[in-house]
Amino acid sequence: MGEAVGEAVLRDGGTAEPPSLVAQFASSPRGARLARRLAVRRMEEWGHPPASEVSCTVALVVAELAANAVRHGRVPGRDFGLRLALDEMSSLVRIEVSDAAATKRPPLAPPSSYPDGESGRGLFLVDALSARWGFALRRPVGKTVWAEVPTDATTPSNGL
């Protein structure tokens, strides 16, 4: 069923669905780093080397969403989840990060410009690097923030 890797528990997607990765991580900075590293490793397995633009973009989006889950969505004793799914037909990688804090929701849109503070740029980057993003409440608890990253140069993105 699952494979333990460090603080993560992995489950591969079934053969009837697009290739995917599902993992849970401790809601800590270390868990967020491990999520990013695991995403890069999976992208390489899907034919996108770590130095490729797609892999670097997925790594950055995973890092931002995981950091937000740890910083803003942390509930003591609860992990956060990561799901990556490669949709070759649509030329997209869907990234989903789930946490247990349903009351702390992301804004409906990222800031229109860089805020003056030390934080708040994460969703601006996610918006710029992904084709689209959003969030959904989970039952019985929590939320999932998702983003879709193009895997080819012909798929339009929001761009900077």
| pLDDT (tens digit per residue) in 25-46 | 999 999 999 999 999 999 999 9
User: What is the percent of the chain with per-residue pLDDT over 90, rounded to a whole number?
Assistant: 57
pLDDT bin (cut points 50, 70, 90) of residue 90 is very high
pLDDT bin (cut points 50, 70, 90) of residue 156 is very low
Q: What is the mean pLDDT of residues 99-113?
A: 71
Closest CA to 24 of 33, 36, 12, 35: 35
- Strand, helix or coil at 18? coil
Residues, the chain: 160
The pTM of the full predicted model, rounded to 2 decimals, is 0.80
> Residue 19's pLDDT is what?
86
- For the chain, the average pLDDT equals 82
Distance CA 56, CA 99 (A): 23
Distance CA 75, CA 19 (A): 30
